[in-house]
Amino acid sequence: MKEGFHVQVESSNCNKTHRERLRRLALSDLGWNSFFESEFWGLRRPSLVPARVIEELKGSHRLRTEQGDYLAEVAGRVRYQAEDRDDLPAVGDWVGITPRPEEGRARIECILPRRTKLSRKVAGREQSEQIIATNLDTVFVVGSLNREFNVRRIERYLTLVYESGARPVVLLNKADLCLDSSSVVGTVESIALGTPRAPPERVASNRTRSRARIFGTGASLGIRGFVWRWEVHDH
């Protein structure tokens, strides 16, 4: 199964350039809330700037702030104190940084506590944990109603999402390829009690304002199918 990350932050003003839209972002548009604000100010380090990890690269991380994007390295102290991968930045994390605006770079000084953590076990000599994304509010579990549909796969993904602390939503598409879609939907509902289903057209719509009305301003969304997709939606 192919897996990767795609991060997208959208603005309702499509007439603005990408750089102009970034300048208009508020922290709340990126998912910042009272929980993270309390943790950040509790650090008592006024020189730090809050930022969110939007992409993990080899040896660095791409961050988004109110002022724009930074390419950041992890401070040596953070790496030294890390006991395992869980103690290092992951996509979705809120971090405190020392920015270098003239270079477009920054240093990650600390990681704020996570509200949710989507992860899975990785087999090896010793079973380890792979963090997929953190601080997600809602995760869509996507399944196509074609010959490859597998209800047990849906069940496994739902378990991962529930264990992460995020809210799962089942999204079934390609209903036109299924002769008895209502029967399949019934089967899914039997293993996903209390989990809502979302019409694909409402999720796939490019109208950001419509999605904001469904999920709320600053909601962090993840889509689980053949590719992980993480989005933060603003107004």
Model pLDDT for residues 187-203, shown as the tens digit of each residue: 888 887 766 665 554 44
Residue 215: give the domain boundaries. 135-233
Query: How many CB atoms lie under 10 A from the CB of residue 163?
Result: 13
Tell me how far the alpha carbon of residue 150 is from its chain's centroid.
Answer: 24
What span, in angstroms and rounded, lies between the C-alpha atoms of 152 and 172? 14
Q: Are residue 143 and residue 107 in the same domain, yes or no?
A: no
Q: What is the pTM of this model?
A: 0.75
Q: Is the residue at 1 inside a domain?
A: no
Confidence of residue 95 (pLDDT cuts 50, 70, 90): very high
Q: Which H or E element spans position 203?
A: helix 200-204
How far is residue 209's CA from residue 169's CA, in Å, rounded to a whole number? 19
Which residue carries 């477009």 as its tokens? 104
Q: Which of 54-58, 134-138, 159-163, 182-186 has the lowest mean pLDDT?
A: 182-186
Nearest to 52 by CA among 72, 71, 30: 30
- Residues 212-226 have pLDDT tens digits of 444 455 566 555 443
- Residue 215 within any structural domain of the chain: yes
Q: Which residues of 66-104 are buried (b: 16+ CB within 10 A; e: fewer)?
A: beebbebebbeebeeeeeeeeebbbbbbbbbbebeeeee
The total of structural domains in the chain comes to 2
Where is 211: in which H helix or E strand?
helix 208-215
Q: Are residues 46 and 101 in the same domain?
A: yes
Give the DSSP H/E element, type plus range, for residue 68.
strand 68-74
Residue where a domain stops, chosen among 79, 111, 143: 111
- Are 79 and 153 members of one domain? no
> What's the whole-number mean pLDDT along residues 90-117?
96
Structural domain contains residue 119: no
